[in-house]
Amino acid sequence: AQSVTQPDIHITVSEGASLELRCNYSYGATPYLFWYVQSPGQGLQLLLKYFSGDTLVQGIKGFEAEFKRSQSSFNLRKPSVHWSDAAEYFCAVGRSGYSTLTFGKGTMLLVSP
Amino acid sequence: NAGVTQTPKFQVLKTGQSMTLQCAQDMNHEYMSWYRQDPGMGLRLIHYSVGAGITDQGEVPNGYNVSRSTTEDFPLRLLSAAPSQTSVYFCASRLQNYNEQFFGPGTRLTVL
């Protein structure tokens, strides 16, 4: 069975500083990988996804993520965080032909002035 | 397109009551899923469907029933609500051959 680990429950970053959120997955074949963001009281919005090809993927709102097969990781990055980025971030994994996604437990991002 | 819609947005039940959470999508997606979200637990799959008339259990199916009589609708039924079912419920859908899932806005359920 596939699984997703987000090691950091909370992260605090100063506004303007860089951000990296970690995601590790467990799955035998090449997974389909996703990052979602959830603002308080809102639904989930897709930030970016990796299916195949270039291992560095660009998403919305200036986010990017890099798929590293050797490390079973799909870390999310942003060069300069804005106060509006404060939210909860979820990494998720699926497989080719999958019916559903498996989600990590989420990382809450706090942005300090 | 309205995308994935869920009703109601908020609901309070008493223990033992039953209710149905509604989910509809207008994108002609074959796959639909129900998740529950609890603090520190991420999203956990309750039930899913790969097409009309076909449903299957996810990670946490106990206490919930589903059916899929049409492509558009995928209701989630709580037969006898329990406080442990207090959660935020999300419905999602996607095309069979396209892997991005689209989520509804969620239903916040409180069981007293």
Q: What does the pLDDT look like over B35-93, one tens digit per residue?
A: 999 988 889 999 999 999 999 999 999 999 999 999 999 999 999 999 999 999 999 99
Number of domains in chain A: 1
Q: Are strands A24-26 and A3-5 parallel, antiparallel or unpaired?
A: antiparallel
Domain CATH code at residue A91: 2.60.40.10
The answer to whether B83 and B15 are in contact (CB under 8 A) is yes
Nearest to B99 among A51, A105, A106 (CB): A51
d(C-alpha A80, C-alpha A31), whole Å: 28
Separation in Å, CA A94 to CA A26, A49, A77, A98:
11, 11, 21, 6
The letter for the amino acid at A95 is R
The residues in B 15-34 lying below 8 A from A, measured between CB atoms, are 31, 33
d(C-alpha A55, C-alpha A60), whole Å: 16
Structure tokens at A12: 């605090």
- Condensed to tens digits (0 to 9), the pLDDT of residues A19-60 reads 999 999 987 677 889 999 999 888 899 999 998 888 899 999
- Condensed to tens digits (0 to 9), the pLDDT of residues A63-87 reads 999 999 999 999 999 999 999 999 9
- Per the structure, the complete domain to which residue A7 belongs is given by 3-112
Asked if residue B100 has pLDDT above 70, the reply is yes
Structure tokens at B69: 């009589």
| Average confidence score pLDDT of chain B | 93
